[in-house]
Amino acid sequence: MRMSNRAGLIAALALLILLLFMPQIAPHIGLAVSVCTEVLLYAIAAMAVNLLIGYTGVLPFGNAAFFGLGAYGAGLTIQYFHVGFIASIVLGTIAALVGAVLIGPFLLRRRGIYFALLMIAFGQVFYFIAYRFTDITGGEDGMNFARPAVEGLGLVLKDQQFYYAMLLVFALVMIGFLFLVRSPFGRTLLAIKENETRARYLGLNTDRFIFVALLISAIMEGLAGACYGLSIMFAYPLMLDWHNSGNIVLMTILGGSGTIFGPFIGAIIFVIGQEILSTHWIWWQIPLGALFVACVLGFPKGILGTILDAVERRRGGFAYEARDTVHGTVYSEREIQP
């Protein structure tokens, strides 16, 4: 096994152990278990954004629409159809997927900043729907709903149990993501990010790849949103809003887009930073904003990207994109003799 793979595996195992004991550790460092759950769920959302920003090269600035659709999908089906815990998550995720299927064909007609703006616009449409249809969604006040029992167990998951359920979801998404970006499909996405014109001239129907990447991203983010809705037992219009999209993009870029664990680091800093700072200081967003500006100006590869770069430079390797792709590519195991 290659060095970078081994280091990644050790880091992942250490992280898993830390996360397994988080409910026991959290009270000692002044954190509620629910905040730890929130970190995991926002990390999934940020990974969804990372799939598009870091691995496909499109800017999903309206991504919170999928997050909110997930939460409302879960909330509404619980409220009106009395579905169970797992069913509500699945239905919330499907709601986000349907949203992506609807707006995807329009988004694909544009690239770059126009894609981003169009996606914000579509996201706001969902926001206003949730805001206006007061009879069904509760409008501006949002909607409360009870967390239903898990099918077959007849058990309503509480704090720690809920955390472990979400940790399981997080771990599965993480493993799935790793396989996805290392699959031929994932490698092709990276090529599209690097140079879409060239990808087209290699016979790739890039629209189709970007569309499917968008759907996968929406599924991940809808899943995160549905779980988040169940976590706080509440869905409200601001979940769909472009501010929330911006926060999730911020986590992704802060942690390091184009890296596997970067978005998770970004989610930790953002959610916990918000939790701690906002209780002491109403201007808590200012230092966070300053950190973001510093990151974009000084470390455009984000926290993890910058660290990985430095490690690679000391080992005399490539820039980290190249390291990620060259060493990660499924074929490149065999050495080429000059």
Partner 1 sequence: MSDVIFAAENIVKHFGGVRAVEDVSLSIEAGSIQAIIGPNGAGKSTLFNALSGFYPCDSGRVTFKGVDITTAPIHRRIAMGIGRTFQTSSVFPNLSVYDNLLIGLQSAASLAFRFRPINRAQRKTIEEKAERLLDFVNLRSSARRPVAELAHGSQRLCEIAMSLSTDPVLVMLDEPMAGLAHAETERVLEVIRKLHGELGLTVLFVEHNMRVVLSLAQRIMVLDRGKTLAEGTPAEISANEAVRDAYIGKEVVEHV
Q: What is the dihedral of CA 70, 270, 302, 315, to 10 degrees?
A: -110
Choices 19-27, 166-174, 197-205, 266-274 (CB under 8 A): range interacting with partner 1: 197-205
User: From the list 136, 180, 238, 307, which residue makes contact with partner 1 (rule: CB under 8 A)?
Assistant: 180
Q: Is 326 in the site for partner 1 (CB under 8 A)?
A: yes
Choices 1-9, 67-75, 290-298, 316-324 (CB under 8 A): range interacting with partner 1: 316-324
3-state secondary structure string, the chain? CCHHHHHHHHHHHHHHHHHHCHHHHHHHHCCCHHHHHHHHHHHHHHHHHHHHHCCCCCCCCCCHHHHHHHHHHHHHHHHHHCCCHHHHHHHHHHHHHHHHHHHHHHHCCCCCHHHHHHHHHHHHHHHHHHHHCHHHHCHHHCEECCCCCECCCCECCCHHHHHHHHHHHHHHHHHHHHHHHHCHHHHHHHHHHHCHHHHHCCCCCHHHHHHHHHHHHHHHHHHHHHHHHHHHCEECHHHCCHHHHHHHHHHHHHHCCCCCCHHHHHHHHHHHHHHHHHHHCCCCHHHHHHHHHHHHHHCCCHHHHHHHHHHHHHCCCCCHHHHHHHHHCCCCCCCCCC
User: From the list 1, 29, 135, 201, which residue makes contact with partner 1 (rule: CB under 8 A)?
Assistant: 201
Q: What is the dihedral of CA 280, 282, 287, 290, to 10 degrees?
A: 180
Q: How far is the CB of 329 from partner 1 (least distance, A)?
A: 6
Q: Is 199 in the site for partner 1 (CB under 8 A)?
A: yes
**Which residues, listed in sequence order, are joined to residue 235 by a DSSP beta bridge?**
143
Q: How far is the CB of 245 from partner 1 (least distance, A)?
A: 27
Q: Is 319 in the site for partner 1 (CB under 8 A)?
A: yes
Q: How many of the chain's residues bind partner 1 (CB under 8 A)?
A: 38
Choices 13-21, 113-121, 154-162, 321-329 (CB under 8 A): range interacting with partner 1: 321-329
Q: Is 149 in the site for partner 1 (CB under 8 A)?
A: no
Choices 52-60, 84-92, 153-161, 201-209 (CB under 8 A): range interacting with partner 1: 201-209
Q: Return the CA Rg of the chain.
A: 20
User: From the list 211, 284, 299, 318, which residue makes contact with partner 1 (rule: CB under 8 A)?
Assistant: 318
Beta carbon nearer to partner 1, 83 or 220: 220
User: From the list 185, 211, 234, 299, which residue makes contact with partner 1 (rule: CB under 8 A)?
Assistant: 185
Q: Is 188 in the site for partner 1 (CB under 8 A)?
A: yes
Q: Is 211 in the site for partner 1 (CB under 8 A)?
A: no
Pairwise CA distance, residues 137 & 142, whole Å: 6
Beta carbon nearer to partner 1, 42 or 209: 209
Beta carbon nearer to partner 1, 82 or 198: 198
Choices 14-22, 140-148, 182-190, 231-239 (CB under 8 A): range interacting with partner 1: 182-190
Q: Is 5 in the site for partner 1 (CB under 8 A)?
A: no
Q: Is 124 in the site for partner 1 (CB under 8 A)?
A: no
Residue ranges binding partner 1 (CB under 8 A)? 179-180, 182-185, 187-188, 190-191, 194-195, 197-206, 208-209, 212, 318-319, 321-322, 325-326, 329-332, 334, 336, 338
